[in-house]
Every structure is written in structure tokens, then in C-alpha cells.
Amino acid sequence: MSERLTTAQTTDDRYYGQFGGQFIPETLMTELQAVAKAYHRYRQDPDFLHDLHTLLHDYANRPSLLYYAERMTKDLGGAKIYLKREDLNHTGAHKINNVIGQALIAKRMGKTRLIAETGAGQHGVATATIAALFGMDCEVYMGKLDTDRQRLNVYRMELLGAKVHPVTTGSMVLKDAVNAALQAWTQRVDDTFYVMGSAVGPYPFPQMVHDFQSVISRESKAQLQAVEHHLPDMVVACVGGGSNAIGSFAQYIDDPSVQLIGCEAAGKGVNTGQTAATIEKGTPGIFHGMKSLFLQNDDGQIDQVYSISAGLDYPGVGPEHAQLAALKRATYVGITDEEAVQAFEYIAKTEGIIAAIESCHALAYVMKVAPTMRPDQTIICTLSGRGDKDVAAIARYRGTDLHD
Amino acid sequence: MHAIGGLIYMTNLKAVFDQQKVFMPFIVADDPDVETTVKSIVTLAENGADVVELGLPFSDPVADGPVIQAADLRAFKAGVKTATVFEIVEQVRTQTAVPIVLLTYVNLVYKYGYDAFCQRCQQLDISGLVIPDLPLEENAELKAIATKHHVALVPLIAPTSGKRITKIAAQATGFIYVVSAMGVTGQREQFSKQLATTIAQIRAVTTVPVAIGFGIHSPQQAHELGQLADGIIIGSAIVKLMAAQPVDLQAQLANYAQSIKQALS
Ligand SMILES: Cc1ncc(COP(=O)(O)O)c(C=O)c1O
């Protein structure tokens, strides 16, 4: 597992600077503390670590490749571009890294039932997959709008034996799915573990997700060292709640020469009001169990946000990212729908990779920045997932009515 | 603190609970409009409510069930803002000194500014704040500020609180809100079997009054739970009445309040 969090600068483990905490109803506090206790115990337990590594290796197909995107590098004409291929993991995204970790903790806590929220459906699919593997029950909460735009993943989850609840409250997207999953957890804690899908929520979730996703940067650091014999100059990842980004950044946070770039969904544009660019446009607030940055109005009512990407369509961000932004250790940029779709098409044609629309937000930034860098510099861009799930939606965006 | 007929008046919640078994109805501010809310508070106060709990809607009320969520939506449709709830209490204060506590989510208080929010409460004699997403571990900052303004930060205790009960109760001010069942707000027939034990554990460490809420709707339930605690809170049942928007809403509220008050006495 990774070392202590370097961004957790207070003595209070639950906070990253002023961000983090456990702002959650009393009904869940006892359970949350039990989860924290179990997590701290098992993250040092050799048996647990053995099971974790075995599953990551034998089941999830780790380590994931660090692929030199030669055609893209040549075409863009600047820095050398490496892609960290989380899309090649079993179930097709980074989400499985975290789910395996949390589900192993759930199992050791004696839980028999997993619940989860999902946006794009990748976290739901990963949770349903591991529930099937472990013989556990699984229920997934997903905004009604997302069940429509990610129908393929809904069917996948059902195929894996999970029950999918379309959430019809609020804006019917990821934020509302988190609300529904939290409510469901409140109703039934005894046998149920809430597998949080991103580096968000109350402590210990952000720390746990950081830990389980840091495998991305532990691998990439060693892999790049082996071929280039140095650190990357820049690491780029997309940010919804921030799990693949924090996993991609983790091992480089203490290397100040490595620029860390998080790409948020700007939707129709950072200043259009139809955006999900939380760090650029958000203000401090307290929601979903954490103090962090949120898109909200002057009263503190949470905004309904927008992005073409169901996985980035979230009005908040993990507390560690809020702190990395405050410390200026990482930089966060907005990428519009159009830029992401162009990157989706570009990487398909240039590298023969159909990447998730979420990941294409990171790629779009690489397309802008690589030409401004020198050929002796390197970028690692995390391809957080594969894009099969997005093909129909992108076709629709381009005006072709394709039914999946 | 506020002035009624030239008198400076400030509610002491404990004294209210000492005088009677407390009936505390809950309604949502601006559901469906300011005028109805003001009228309803006055009606409830005149017909047996000892304290009124007023909800300031939040966009994402994770502790609330469908009935209260629907009321929140009606309020949002009416354009409810944080300022609206204070405007409502201001109007109420020209007609009644009924003790009022606010229920809302922490983000709204945080955004308004803890100090500004509590100061406004103090000016309007709002005697307590119930904030479901602010557990003991996170309440120190707001609690210090609230105390300075003589506003009680009312803690919640859940059926799952276990070992936490003693810790929470020992630091409680105002009253303690005992959540009668798991899950979210809404009517129920079944209550947690450990209610009596929970309340005994609370009594062992504090004299701060105890009110039970979540799911109570009938006078019979009010009577039974009233035996256990110092007061009861009724939310969804009253909000449901409001939702139906009958022409004789005020008469229905009055009847209902009287029936509960009677069952408690
Ligand atoms: C492929 C992919 N990438 C990224 C994300 C965004 O999540 P996070 O910011 O937690 O990595 C998602 C979420 O659904 C996803 O499916």
C-alpha cells in the first residue's frame, strides 16, 4: 500500500488542510467508524495485502500497460506521450482497483451485501463484478438520466446479478445517485457495505480510494523508469470525483518537478453555467460527507451540473484535490464536451484506441499541451477507461442516431 | 432574543420541556408559500404546539424521505432562500412567541456564515438548530458560535449510536433528538425496540430533555412515546396535510395538533 498521505497536513487524519471530515448523519457514524477501523487494520495486514495483490494481478489484469503512443507523439510534435492503460483492466476502467480493495474489507467485516452509486456505470459494473466473484448481493444506484445514456452498462450490471435502481430525484445524475445510495445505507447497515466509487465522501473513503488507486502511479513510476530512466515531466488525468486522478498523482506528489494536471468537465464551457468544472468554478462547502469545493449558489444549494460525460458530471470533487489545488501542487483545467469528443475521435484514428469519454478530457489537454513541450520531455496520461460504452452517445452527439 | 410588547424575551428550551410533555410539529418553510407557513405556525402554536420545528430546505436532503422531499420541492418552486426562513420567523414573531427551532443541512449554515446565521437566530429568538449532517465529531466550530448567541445545537441520537450515546448526551444542549428508527424521515408503524434503553442511557448522563422523532403520526403513538420521552416531534404526517392543500388547512392543522396535544397530556 502507499505511504502516508503527504497532503494530509493536519494531525487530524480525517482532513486535508481545511478539506475533508465526516459530515454524515448520526445514523451512519458508528458504521463509518467501523469501516475506518477495519481499513486501518487491513491495510497493514499481510493476508489482506496478499489477497489484494493476487486479485489485482490474476483477476483484474494488472499491472496495466504503460504504452508509448508513438503516432500521437509524432503527430502532435512535442513531448513524448505515454498512456497508462487502465482501459485494459478487467471491466474496462480503473474503478476495479478500488472495488477489489473495498470489497475485500467488506468481506473481512462480515458483510454480505454491496451497494454503490455509479455515474457512467463503470463503478457499478466493477462492483457488480466483484460481488459476483465473492458471492455477495449487489445493488447499484444510478441516476435515471445516466441509465438512459449508459444503457449498455445497466444491462451489464444486471447480467452480473446486480439490481440497478434508477434514481429519479433531483437532476437524476451522479449526485442524486450518491444521495440515494447514502439513504439506502442509512436504512440497512448491518450486512451492507457502501463501496464508494470515487475519492469523495466522508473519511475514510477519500483516503481508502487514494490508497487503492495509487497502484496506478506506483506502476507508472517504475514502468517509465525502466524505459526512460527518469520521472515524467507531467501527469494528466481526468477528474470527476477524482479517483483515477489521485491514483495517477499519488506517487508523484512529493516530486515537485512533476507537473500534475487534473482535467475537469467544462461541459458547454466553464462560463456557460452548463458545466461541471468544480475546482475552477466551485466554492468551499459541505456536502456528501465532506468539506470540499462545490458548484453551488450563494445560499449553498447544490447546482445541477452538466457534462456530456456521465462519469464527470458531479458538482463536487474529492477533498484531497481541493487541497492540492489550494496548495497549487496540482493544476486543474476545464475541457469542453466538444474538445473531449474531438479527442475521442482523434485517438481512435491515430492510435486505434477507443477511450472512455471521461479519459478523453485528459487526452484533449495532452493534445493542447504536448506541442508546446520539448521532445525530451514526457507526459503520462491516464486512460481511465475504454470507450465502448460511449460509442452510441458520441454518435448521437455527431448526429447519428445509433441504438445500443 | 426579541422584544414582544416591550419585553425582552428569550426562550429557554429546558424550561419549555420542564413545563409539559412537548409536542413539536415540523413544517417546511415556504411550503407552498410564505403566507401559509406563517399562518400554519401560528395555528399550530395556538392549538397545542409547544415548540415549532421549521425546515429550511436543502437541494439534497439525504436524511429526508419522499414526503419532506416533496415539500422541499414545493418550497423551491416558491423560490425559498435562506433569507425566506428568517422573513417567515420575523412575521411569526409579530403574532406569537412560540419557541422555534430550525432544521437544515450544514452547507446552508456554512454558506451564510456560522456567526451571521446564529446572530440572526438570536435576533429572532430561534432557540435551536437541528442539523442532521453535522455529527459530534464535526460540530465544535458551529457549537461554540451558537452557544455564544444562546442558540442550542441540538444533537441527534440514532438506533445505531451505541457507545456514542453517552458521549453525545454528555455534550448536549437544548434538547436531544432521538431518531426512533433507521432510515429517513417518513411515517412508520414500527419503532426501534431499544428506544427505552437508549433513553435510559441518556438520562444517566444528562438532564437535557429528550424528544423522539421520525415516523410518528397517530395520537396513540404520540401517547406511547410521550411516556418514554419529554417530547415528540411530528414531521411527515403534518407535511402530508400541507401537501394536500385543503381549503380548510388551518382547521385541519388545529384539529390534528389538538388531538396530539391531548394524547400527550
Ligand atoms: C472511465 C472513467 N474515468 C473517469 C471517471 C471519473 O471518476 P474519477 O474522477 O473518480 O476517476 C469515471 C467515472 O465513472 C469513469 O468511468
Residue A21: pLDDT over 50: yes
Starting at the earlier edge strand, list the strands of the sheet with A259-267.
Answer: A66-68, A80-85, A378-383, A234-238, A259-267, A330-336
* Strands of the sheet with A113-118, listed across from one edge: A163-167, A137-143, A113-118, A192-194
Q: Which residue type occupies A129? A: T
CA B120, distance to chain mean position in Å, is 17
Helix (H) or strand (E) holding B15: helix B13-19
pLDDT at B7: 41
Least confident of A8-22, A243-257, B63-77: A8-22
Q: Which of A174, A301, A302, A305 to mutate to test the interface with B (most CBs of B within 10 A)?
A: A301
Which residues have a Cβ under 8 Å from the Cβ of B200 and sit 6 or more positions away?
Answer: none
Q: How many helices (H) and strands (E) does chain A have?
A: 16, 14
B57: nearest CA partner in chain A: A301
Which spans in A260-332 are helix H? 278-281, 319-326
pLDDT of residue B186: 66
Quick check: B183 and A186 CB within 8 A?
A: yes
A156 CB less than 6 Å from ligand 1? no
If you measure from the C-alpha of residue A312 to the centroid of ligand 1, how many angstroms do you get, rounded to a whole number? 7
Distance between B95 CA and the closest CA of chain A, angstroms: 28
Longest Cα–Cα distance in chain A:
56
Q: Is A198 a catalytic residue?
A: no
* Among candidates B111, B158, B159 on the partner chain, residue whose Cβ is nearest the Cβ of A300: B111
> Ligand 1: does its nearest atom lie under 6 Å from the Cβ of A196?
no
Q: pLDDT-derived band of residue B129, with 50, 70 and 90 as boundaries?
A: very high
- State the Cα–Cα distance between residues A288 and A266, nearest whole angstrom: 21
Instruction: Indicate whether this model's pTM tops 0.80.
Output: yes
Say how many Å lie between the CA of residue A276 and the centre of ligand 1.
13
Which tens digit of pLDDT belongs to each residue from A234-291? 999 999 999 999 999 999 999 999 999 999 999 999 999 999 999 999 999 999 999 9
Distance of CA B227 to the CA centre of its chain: 19
Contact B185, B236 (CB under 8 A): yes
Nearest residue in chain B measured CA to CA from A283:
B111
**Alpha carbon separation from A225 to A81, A230, A247, A370, B56 (Å, rounded):** 14, 5, 18, 20, 55
Q: Is the pLDDT of residue B6 over 90?
A: no
Can B35 be counted among the known catalytic residues? no
Confidence class for position B63, pLDDT limits 50, 70, 90: confident
Q: Is the beta carbon of A101 within 6 A of some atom in ligand 1?
A: no
Task: List, in order, residues 6 or more apart from A229 with CB less than 8 Å away.
Answer: none
Nearest chain A Cα distance for residue B259, angstroms? 30
Give the contacts of A46 (CB within 8 A, at least 6 positions apart): none
Q: Is the pLDDT at A396 greater than 60, yes or no?
A: yes
pLDDT of the residue at B4: 47
Neighbour count for residue A289 (Cβ, 10 Å): 28
**Structure confidence at residue B190 (pLDDT):** 65
**Mean of the per-residue pLDDT values of chain B:** 92
What are A13-17's contacts with CB under 8 Å, separation 24+?
A13/A203, A13/A207, A14/A203, A14/A204, A14/B137, A15/A203, A15/A319, A16/A206, A16/A319, A16/A320, A16/A322, A16/A323, A17/A323, A17/A326, A17/A327
